[in-house]
Amino acid sequence: MKGSRIKMYDYLVVGAGLYGAIFAHEAKKAGKKVLVIDKRSTVAGNIYTEEIEGIHVHKYGAHIFHTNNKKVWKYINQFAEFNRFTNSPVANYKGELYSLPFNMYTFNKMWGVVTPEEAEKKINEQRKEIKGEPKNLEEQAISLVGRDIYEKLIKGYTEKQWGRDCRELPSFIIKRLPVRLTFDNNYFNALYQGIPIGGYTKMINNLLKNIKVELNVDYLENKQKYNSIAKKIIYTGAIDAYFDYKFGNLEYRSVKFENELLDIPNFQGNAAVNYTDKDTPWTRIIEHKWFEFGKDIDGKDLPKTVISKEYSSEWKLGDEPYYPVNDEKNNELYRKYKNLADKQNKVIFGGRLGEYKYYDMDKTIEVVLDMCQSELY
């Protein structure tokens, strides 16, 4: 309106995901005026959970919070109470079921071995196939667990996930796979682990309490308008999009989901089942109710179930970006954008898309809290 005063904010936060919500919370706590905007119709970014029939459905893929960082764990527990969920996925290879992580159950099923000593001997025999430093993901996997496990439990799944031959993928991707000579079914080696009771959306809403949030707003289409009402911008969108793809677009892996509400109480008996053969089109099926032990908030058994078939797909502009493809070509392109970003004295780029990095949730919290420390205090 003509003559009306435009409200000035200390910070405009672009993106209401975990990174943006934590920064907004800390900025408000430090006495700053904050506005959060998001192009989606919901807050929480990719950790958004939607309630269907009393089940908190992880809309953009399974998110299990896990960390060894006590400071991070203590921080996030201010905004949610976490349950005792432990990530224990199962691998389905053509109807054969194996334990993930690779542990004594896996080795027993694969080779009939019973003791850790027998398992270690078998793995070491098969590891010998790789001489010297592994040059790609296939060699890395064989050097960790041998060819049998690689062929049945890693190869097909990974090639579906990344849309590339394992010999073309960098070795570091597979370093996140735990291998152990015990019967411990916990996928993560983390001291602290769980799912927020009531879902992640509730946790993000707690972070954003009493902070102005505008949804369905595309910042890049209204950049001038929003830049004019804030002294500083915290941008958590894609860094290449911010600079209008000046050097070309960075690549991502995308994920598509087929959700089904089933009128049965139990579909697969586990939160996550990975399909590790190449012929099954989906990479895994998530059954969301098991993240909260099949119970509603009052502890009653839920009569229905929601499953999500997850398909990995080649990303194209306009698709949801999930995982940065941090190969040499893309990292080089990112460095060009990073040089431009460093020259923006009014804009801070953060989060998985803003920094073109694969971040687990705990790492996101750690990084944003460090940034808050230098920016706000």
Give the number of C-alpha atoms closer than 13 A to the C-alpha of residue 207, restricted to the C-beta side. Answer: 25
> Which residue among the candidates 40, 311, 358, 366 is catalytic per the annotation?
358
Cis peptide upstream of residue 101 (ω within 30 degrees of 0): yes
Catalytic one of 310, 322, 355, 356:
310
- Choosing from 284, 337, 359, 362, the catalytic residue is 284
Q: Which of 81, 125, 129, 176 is catalytic?
A: 176
The answer to whether 352 is a known catalytic residue is no
Please list the residues that pair with 312 across neighbouring strands: 255
127 catalytic per annotation: no
Active-site residue 165, yes or no? no
**d(Cα 263, Cα 249) in Å, to the nearest integer?**
43
Written as six digits, the tokens of 255 are 């994920």
Catalytic residue check, 180:
yes
* Calpha distance 322→158 (Å, rounded): 15
Query: Catalytic pick from 26, 253, 334, 359?
Result: 253
Contacts of 274 (CB under 8 A, 6+ apart): 89, 90, 91, 92, 100, 157, 283, 284
Indicate if 284 belongs to the active site: yes
Per annotation, catalytic residue among 180, 184, 277, 311? 180
Give the whole-angstrom CA distance, residue 353 versus residue 362: 16
The catalytic residue positions are 176, 180, 253, 284, 310, 358, 360
